[in-house]
């Protein structure tokens, strides 16, 4: 059994790990404040003899990152890089949770070793951290596609539909949702094995938000006639191009979620009821 520290214990993904029944290790959690340089890293992590650390803390909403670039640079880039270098000096392995956003709106196949092309500041900072920490063989990066939070659009949709209110969902904006359970299982494997490098967790296909809304109404037995399709428009006033959301995998340890069987559990995870 290994001792594992989660940085960002209140995050959506951290809660999935802490409540996982498949975790075979002793897990501790620290809040986002642990990223700060003044925090007692040695006392909190090294002296606890933690063998692996999972970094989950950071600014996750892209619009807030864009609006607060200076703060985002400190929290999403400088702080995790500084912490990971510190922990590596003690021989502690680190898992950095990254995102498909490092590829931006690239429509090409996106494998673990594909060229990155972030088109948001959020994706750029994720990419910069990856580049910095992959110089050490102690570190692992896992890129995720979409993980829905409990306060996601799905919750809003369900509330409105149960109140007989119509909702509108995009037909030209796609998503590749994954279950939090898959991430928890990956953390368990990371803690068990030394697996440096970059890995992906992705669904095996995409669906647009209109299709997702229909699937949600089916799951809850709600009338889908209240779900109306609409287009998402860019800043130039034109409808955005439909782009793939899923990642692709080469590495055996990367994870592909079969959406046809996993979607009900993904919806259940994301919606409070």
Mean pLDDT per 10-residue segment, the chain (273 residues): 89 85 81 74 76 92 92 94 93 96 85 94 97 97 93 90 94 93 93 96 95 95 94 83 90 93 90 66
pTM for the model stands at: 0.92
Protein fold of 3-147+177-202: Rossmann fold (3.40.50)
Q: Both tokens of residue 25?
A: 């290790």
What is the rounded distance in angstroms from the CA atom of residue 208 to the CA atom of residue 153? 13
What is the rounded distance in angstroms from the CA atom of residue 92 to the CA atom of residue 7? 14
Query: Can you give the pLDDT at residue 272?
Result: 63
Domain definitions of the chain by residue range: 3-147+177-202
Question: What dihedral do alpha carbons 62, 128, 254, 249 form, nearest 10°?
Answer: 90
Length reported for the chain: 273
Residue 141 DSSP one-character state: E
What is the rounded distance in angstroms from the CA atom of residue 273 to the CA atom of residue 265? 13
Query: Can you give the pLDDT at residue 37?
Result: 66
The residues near 112 (Cβ < 8 Å, ≥ 6 apart) are 143, 197, 198, 199, 200, 249, 250, 251, 254
What is the rounded distance in angstroms from the CA atom of residue 172 to the CA atom of residue 62? 19
Query: Can you give the pLDDT at residue 39?
Result: 64
Residue carrying the six token digits 């996982």: 20
Q: Dump pLDDT digits (tens) for 145-186.
A: 999 987 789 999 999 999 999 999 999 999 999 998 899 999
Q: Using alpha carbons, select from 206, 75, 197, 179 the residue that is nearest to residue 140.
A: 197
Q: Both tokens of residue 50?
A: 């933690």
């Amino acid at each position: 059994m290994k001792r594992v520290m989660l940085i960002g214990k209140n995050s959506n993904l951290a809660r999935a790990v802490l409540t996982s029944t498949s975790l075979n290790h002793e897990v501790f959690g620290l809040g986002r404040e642990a990223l700060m340089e003044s925090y007692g890293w040695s006392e909190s992590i090294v002296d606890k003899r933690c063998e692996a650390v999972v970094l989950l803390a950071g600014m996750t909403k892209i619009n807030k990152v864009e609006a607060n670039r200076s703060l985002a640079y400190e929290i999403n880039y400088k702080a995790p890089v500084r912490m990971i270098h510190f922990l590596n000096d003690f021989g502690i392995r680190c898992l950095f949770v990254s995102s498909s956003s490092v590829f931006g709106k690239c429509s090409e196949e996106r494998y673990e070793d594909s060229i990155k092309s972030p088109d948001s500041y959020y994706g750029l900072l994720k990419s910069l951290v990856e580049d910095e920490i992959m110089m050490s063989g102690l570190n692992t990066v896992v890129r995720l596609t979409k993980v829905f939070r409990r306060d996601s659009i799905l919750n809003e949709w369900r509330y409105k539909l149960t109140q007989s209110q119509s909702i509108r969902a995009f037909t030209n904006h796609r998503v590749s949702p994954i279950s939090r359970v898959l991430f928890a299982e990956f953390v368990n494997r990371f803690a068990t094995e030394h697996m440096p490098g970059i890995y992906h967790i992705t669904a095996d296909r995409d669906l647009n938000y209109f299709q997702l809304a229909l699937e949600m109404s089916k799951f809850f037995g709600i009338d889908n006639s209240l779900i109306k399709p609409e287009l998402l428009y860019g800043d130039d006033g034109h409808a955005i191009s439909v782009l793939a959301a899923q990642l692709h995998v080469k590495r055996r340890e990367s994870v592909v979620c079969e959406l046809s069987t996993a979607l009900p559990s993904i919806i259940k995870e994301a919606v409070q009821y």
